[in-house]
Structure 1
Amino acid sequence: MKEITGNPLFPVFLQLNELHVLLVGGGKVGLEKLTALLENSPKATVTIVAREISADVRHYVANYPRIQLLERAFEETDLNGVDLVVVASNNPELNLRIRKECRSRHLLINVADKPDLCDFYLGSIVKKGNLKLGISTNGKSPTIAKRMKELLNEALPEEIDETLTYMSQLRDLLKGDFNDKVKALNAHTASLLSKEGI
């Protein structure tokens, strides 16, 4: 087996519009997590459970009909029927309790600012139309991830989405097997990038 060095995380893009997310926490950190979820998947179904749900969270979700607010303490039954769990609580005992219950149910969990309790991280995201890049520092430096996001947002042209559309249309027109299509697309991409000076 090859030894893994550096960041061992496996990047995955989830179709959150097909999943049900439980968010435990309705304060400032909960709003940050919720914003990250909905900015990337506006049609996500999210249930928010918290003893107190801030006015900012209530205001933010006003235009999202698939968000349910439950202003009360977390109950283990809140995990029924969900696919993914995000915890934004500053209660260590609650965090551990939810983590343990998620493990027993084989649910993936993210606990804010507690990498050792997480099955996945919410990385920095760069979006340009249909192009989406995820950035991870394996929890080492969110600041660097944020800076990389800013740099890539500045470096990538807005026209990249138009290029993606053309490449998709070209792929559909190409004949031959998979290898032939990959070679033709690679040649076309190299030509486009050299013209753009990228």
Structure 2
Amino acid sequence: MEENHLFPVFFKLHRLQVLVVGGGNIGLEKANAMLENCPQANVTIVSMDFLPELTSLTHQYPNITLVQKSFSCGDLLGKDLVIAATNDRELNYHVWETAKCSKVLINVADTPDLCDFYLGSIVRKGNLKIAISTNGKSPTVAKRLKQVLQEAIPDTIDEVLNKLSLIRDKLTGDFSAKVKKLNSLTDVLVKSERDPL
């Protein structure tokens, strides 16, 4: 049976340099996804043309840079992640080849075989963030699961997280003792309504 062997990672985009190649709808979608999750993301977008919405983003987010030119190898200098976001398959493949030669992680939009990482569906409630992956099989299922989880997780979860953070900071003992105490405190989160307390 096939399994999902992806390793989930949460990037601190404010510490990284991201290159997006493509100034159209796909580039806009990818830029918005990053900025929704990290408004301080450092993103450079290279394209010959830009949607007006991308130009507007530069006024709202100071760490977004638009560079009006054709993609070249030099665009990868100092970059940590690259997203090829054009509707030109040949150009996307060229960006992929260049990124692989430069040892830069790349995502080629809608081409799972050319992706080192995916941009999954994200559920956000305050400090809680859950990424959903279907291993590239069905973004639609990921979207539906996102809706279910968004509704199922209470809006008060951030209060719980903040209180547990304060408790964790005050706990004494070794790592194992702290984990045991926190597991005991959070057991109520996984008990079903039928379980006796």
Specify the alignment match of 2:160 in structure 1: 163
1:45 and 2:46 matched: no
Q: Is the 8 A contact 2:84 2:96 kept in 1?
A: no
1:35 match: 32
CA contact (8 A) 2:19 2:81 kept: yes
Alpha-carbon deviation of 1:92? Answer: 1.5
Distance in 2 (alpha carbons) for counterparts of 1:54 and 1:33:
13
Deviation at 1:162, TM superposition (A): 0.6
TM-score by length of 1: 0.94
1:97-116 maps to which residues of 2 (within 5 A)? 97-116=94-113
Q: What one-letter code is carried by the residue in structure 2 that aligns with 1:32? A: E
- What is residue 17 of structure 2 aligned with on the other side? 20
Q: In structure 2, what residue type is equivalent to 1:38? A: L
CA drift at 1:60: 3.0
Question: Secondary structure at the residue paired with 1:29?
Answer: helix
The reply to whether residue 117 of structure 1 matches residue 95 of structure 2 is: no
Match of 2:106, SS?
A: strand
Shift in Å, 1:194? 4.6
Aligned to 1:78: 75
Q: Secondary structure at the match of 1:17?
A: helix
The amino acid across from 1:147 in the alignment is R
Give the root-mean-square deviation of aligned CA atoms: 1.8
The 2-side partners of 1:192 and 1:25 are apart by 43
In 2, Cα distance between the equivalents of 1:88 and 1:195? 44
2:60 equivalent to 1:63: yes
Tell me if structure 1 keeps the 8 A contact 2:57–2:64: no
Deviations 1:163-198 (A, max 9, x none): 00111111111111111111100110013555999x
The total of aligned residue pairs comes to 195
How far does the alpha carbon of each residue in 1:139-174 deviate from its partner, in whole angstroms, 9 at most, with x for none? Answer: 000000000001100000011011001111111111
Q: Which runs of 5+ in 2 are unaligned?
A: none
- Percent identity of paired positions between Structure 1 and Structure 2: 53
Counterparts of 1:118 and 1:195, CA distance in 2: 39
Q: Which runs of 5+ in 1 are unaligned?
A: none
The CA deviation string for residues 58-85 of structure 1, in whole angstroms up to 9 with x for no partner, is 1233210111111221111111111100
